Structure 1
Amino acid sequence: MKKIFLLAGLIIFSVLGASAQYKLGVGVRLNYGYGLSVKYNMTQKKSVEGILYSRWRGINITGLYQIHAPAFQTAGWRWYYGIGGHVGVWGDGARYGNPWFDNYNSNTVIGADGVLGLEYTFKEIPLNLSLDWKPAINLIGYQGLWLDDVAFTARFAIK
């Protein structure tokens, strides 16, 4: 009986999720820290993505607007680029090794982000994989550039 339920669940999961073009993707983003990515495709060429991730025992929230284009003339592959912004909060920089905050206070930054990436969405299974570079500049709080944010993201792709 368990096998029947498992098989039925896998079939439903595959039918609902499998698509070369997905509407909503939810998954994990892995870079120097770890986080959550939620991406909503408004059209085939436009999407918005929200990223919540942790680094140096702090938290960063990013929102991005992205433009997509086909890549390699192959189904499932897309380039994307975009802009957005972020808000980050870190506490106790000296104790946790944050290279920008060497004090024992809470620190907040607000800034602008860019993104350039490549993604692939499997047709057979509900999975979207992406690799991107997301440079950022802090405008309020610590003022400086973050050029090291290269991340791999795996998302469950929902039609």
Structure 2
Amino acid sequence: MKKLFTMMCLTVIATIGIYSTANAQDYRNAIGGRFGTANGVTFKTTLGGNKMLDLIANFRSNDGYSYFRVTGLYEIYNPIQGADGLNWYYGLGGSVGSRKWKYNDTNKAYISVDGVLGLDYKFAEAPLNLSLDWKPAIELAPGTEFDSSGLGLSIRFTF
């Protein structure tokens, strides 16, 4: 299942990359992969000005459980002076999904409030965007806990 999901994501990314056009200093939309403590697909779109919406669908597995979740983040971008194409950003959003425990095979709804803090770079001469961020989350269901392990690198094609 994970291999099929990964192959589908790579196919979509490659197709969009082939047909997208580059914008020299900025981008309106971007799609690609997010890799780190959780792997998945990310899509960013502008909301106007310095604000963007980032939608992430990812999965994660560790010794005790695995989950699939969809995250929406409202992000505010600020340029870093003297570094063209480089911005720092912060934002807030939430996640919904499901968590499955490996040992007792139970599956429960997952809900969290998420934050994000990161760096975003758009290559001037290529339809490519890189983001490195930290995405902590406060889990509201099935339990209540703070997850500070949300580091990720996103590689996206811009259009």
TM-score when normalising by structure 2: 0.81
Distance 1:155 1:26, change over 3 A: same
Distance 1:156 1:105, change over 3 A: same
Distance 1:122 1:53, change over 3 A: same
Aligned length: 139
State the shift of 1:88 in Å. Answer: 2.4
Distance 1:128 1:71 in 2: 16
Q: Greater CA radius of gyration, 1 or 2?
A: 1
The counterpart of 1:49, out of the listed 50, 54, 72, is 54
Q: What's the CA shift string for 1:29-71, capped at 9, x where partnerless?
A: 0012310000001224100010000112420110000000001
AA partner of residue 45 (structure 2): Y
Residue equivalent to 1:33: 38
Give every structure 1 segment of 4 or more consecutive aligned residues whose post-TM-superposition deviation is greater than 4 Å.
Answer: none
**Identical-residue share of aligned pairs (%):** 36
State the shift of 1:118 in Å. Answer: 0.3
Alignment of 1:129-144 (within 5 A): 129-144=130-145
What is the RMSD of the two structures over their aligned residues, measured on CA atoms?
A: 1.9
Say yes or no: does 1:17 pair with 2:17: no
State the shift of 1:141 in Å. Answer: 1.2
Contact 1:30 1:153 in 2 (8 A): yes
Distance 1:23 1:133 in 2: 22
Say yes or no: does 1:105 pair with 2:106: yes
Contact 2:121 2:129 in 1 (8 A): yes
Structure 1, unaligned runs of 5 or more: 1-12, 96-102
Distance 1:89 1:15, change over 3 A: closer
Say yes or no: does 1:68 pair with 2:77: yes
Say yes or no: does 1:94 pair with 2:95: no
